[in-house]
Amino acid sequence: MKNTDAWERLSSEPETDLSLFKSRFEQVRNPLTGKTVRVVTLTGNDSVTVMAVTKGNNVVLVDNFRFGVMAYLLELPGGMVDDGEDHRQSARRELLEETGYAAPEWHYVGCVAANPVFMDSYVHHYLAIGAERVADPDLDDGEDIRAREMSLEELRKMLFNGEFQHPHTVCGALRGLEMLERGL
């Protein structure tokens, strides 16, 4: 959707490589005031989350250490889409790497902007049905992740009690639950 009152980009400074992301400073014109403002944008690959439901109707979750808050957060498995990879491939890869689980049935349940305040990427959400553990997790050096299963009812309870702290997990779980309730 094109907004005719959109901010006009006047200039853009070279990117700074931040490992997972690059930063870009831009000069933009506020369409309401006409004033020029300097903003920062983080640019990077899209990412994925997976709500994997086992044959026993449990959901596979991960306790994932997050450096931003220096704590373990209970989350849906997921991660960044690698260069040259489509997001469905990434979802399958991330589920297997982080949990050791694989699933025969996959459903795309939509995407959201990762953080539209200052990022240009999207998070794609998947529902995987019939998941079972087929391998040991294969974690990167910077990952501290422990997989566990939880009933769908416990997931729903935690979700609506506000117990999940990662917004991508909240969104992915809501969309996954809705798709399950609709009967896929």
User: Domain for residue 84, yes or no?
Assistant: yes
Tell me, yes or no, whether 71 lies in a domain. yes
Strands 22-29 and 16-17: antiparallel
Q: Look up the CATH number of the domain holding residue 126.
A: 3.90.79.10
52 and 128 Cβ atoms separated by less than 8 Å:
yes
Closest CA to 127 of 75, 47, 48, 52: 52
Angle between the N-to-C axes of helices 152-160 and 167-181, in degrees from 0 to 180, rounded to the nearest 10: 130
Range of the domain at 29: 8-43
The yes-or-no verdict on residue 3 having pLDDT over 60 is no
Number of domains in the chain: 2
CB 72 within 8 A of CB 143: no
Same domain (yes/no): 34, 98 = no
Whether the predicted pLDDT of 24 surpasses 60: yes
- Average confidence (pLDDT) over 92-100: 98
Same domain, 33 and 113: no
Q: What is the pLDDT of residues 77-91, one digit of tens each?
A: 999 999 999 999 999
| Mean of all residue pLDDT scores within the chain | 92
Co-location of 104 and 25 in the same domain: no
Whether 1 shows a pLDDT value over 70: the answer reads no
3 state SS of 159: helix
pLDDT at 42: 87
Check residue 22 and give its pLDDT: 85
What are the pLDDT digits (tens) for 63-77? 999 888 888 999 999
